[in-house]
Amino acid sequence: MELKSKSSKSVSWGLTSDYSFQNYADKYSGKIDVSLREYIKKCVDNFDITMSKQLEYLKKPYIDAFNGGKMLRAILVCLSYEIFSGEFNDKILHPSIAFEIFQTSVLFHDDIIDKGEYRRGKKTIHKILEGIYKSSFRKKQNTIEDSHKSMAMTVCLGDYGFVLTYKLILESDFDDSVKVKALTALGGVVSDTLLGEMLDVELPNPINDKYNIDEDDIIRIATYKTAQYTISGPLTLGAIFAGVGKEEQQKLIEFGNNLGVAFQIHDDIMGVFGEKIGKPTDSDIKENKITLLYYYAKNNCDVKTKKILENLYGNKDVTKEDVATIKKIFVETGALDYAETKRDLYKDTAKKVLETLNISHEMRSVLCDFSEYITTRSK
C-alpha cells in the first residue's frame, strides 16, 4: 500500500489498513537491530587495537548489554524522519541507533545509581563485571574492591557510549548544517536527562529537610528524565534530519513530553501492580521512588496509615506482605485511581497536540496508536 503525505511525497510503509505502530516497528526493528549490532561490534573490535589487549574481556559484556531492547527510540527517529520526509532512507539508521546507544549508556549509570542487579532479563553490566573480577582477575582482592572496579569500568563504558552517540551523528550522511542542528537538539536532551536523574536521586532524601516535594517535582522528573529522551527527543531528531522547521519541532516536543509523562506514570503503576505480567513489584518501593502513587497516598490518608506507609516504603527488606499492604493503601486512598486519571489526562493532552501537526491522517493514526501502545503496555 502506498500512502501520500500532505507534501505529496510517497510513503511506502507496507502497513496494513489499521496503520498500527506495531506494524511500523515490525517493519524496521530488524534493520535497526542489525545496524546497531554491526556498529557496536566494530567499535569493540578496536578495544585491543587502539588501547590494550587487557580490555579484551569487556567485549562480550558490552555487546550483550545492547541485546534485548525494544529499539523504541530508534524506531521513533526513523518514524519521524519518514513522516516528514515522505520516505524511509537507510542514512537515518546511524542517527537512530545513536539514540539507542545513548539510552543504554544512560542505563549503565542508572543501574549503578539505583543499585540495580538486573536489566532486560539479565544481570546488569556492572554485576557481570563484578563476577568476572571475583572469579579470575582479582582472586586475592576483597569484594568491595571488585565491586568498586566493576562500577568504575561501567561508568567508563557509559561515557564511551555517549561519545559514540555524537560520533554516529557526525558521521551520518547528512549536510553539516543539519547535523549541527541535530547535535544541538541532542545536547539539550542529554543535559535535561542528566538533570532529571539528579532530581530523581535528590528528591527521596533532600539535603534540606524542610523542602516540600510536590506533584510538580514528580512531573518535572518524568519530563526531564523520561519524556525527552524516550519520546520527544527521538521524534525531534528524526524531524530535524527531515528538514522540519522550529514550529513543528515545538509541537513534537509538546506531544512527546505529555505522552512521556503519561508513559512514566503508567510505568510507575506497573512497578507496583504489574505482578500479573511478571514485572517486579518491589523495586520502586525498595528504592524509595517518589511516584504519584506514593505522593497522593501519603497526602490523603489518616495519621496511622501514613505512619505505616512511611515505615514500609523505602525499606530495603520489604516482604510480600508489606508490598500487599502498600498496594492496599494505594487503592483505598484513591492513589491508584488518581494516577490512572493523571496518566490519561496527559495522554489526551498529547493527542490534542497531535491533531495540530501538519501530517497526513494515516501518519497521525500511527502516532495515535503509539500513544495507546506506550500507555497501556503490559510488558
Give the model confidence (pLDDT) of 163-202 as tens digits.
Answer: 999 999 999 999 999 999 999 999 999 999 999 999 888 8
Q: What is the mean pLDDT of residues 346-361?
A: 95
Helix (H, G, I), strand (E, B) or coil at 174: coil
Query: How does DSSP classify residue 122?
Result: E
Q: Strand runs (DSSP E) across the chain, as ranges?
A: 3-4, 10-11, 118-119, 122-123
Contact present, 347 and 371 (Cβ < 8 Å): yes
β-partners of residue 151 are none
Provide the pLDDT confidence category of residue 280 given band limits of 50, 70 and 90. Answer: low
Contact present, 364 and 20 (Cβ < 8 Å): no
Provide the pLDDT confidence category of residue 336 given band limits of 50, 70 and 90. Answer: very high
* The amino acid at 218: I
Contact present, 293 and 276 (Cβ < 8 Å): no
Query: How does DSSP classify residue 20?
Result: -
**Closest-CA residue to 183 (of 234, 257, 237):** 237
pLDDT of res. 274? 81
Residue with cell 536527562: 193
Query: How does DSSP classify residue 54?
Result: G
β-partners of residue 118 are 123
Answer yes or no: is pLDDT of 360 > 70.
Answer: yes
Helix (H, G, I), strand (E, B) or coil at 215: helix
**Closest-CA residue to 153 (of 37, 57, 36, 46):** 57
Q: What is the mean pLDDT of the chain?
A: 88
Contact present, 98 and 148 (Cβ < 8 Å): no
Q: What global pTM score does this model have?
A: 0.89
Burial of 324 (0-12, 13-18, 19+ CB in 10 A): exposed
Query: How does DSSP classify residue 96?
Result: H
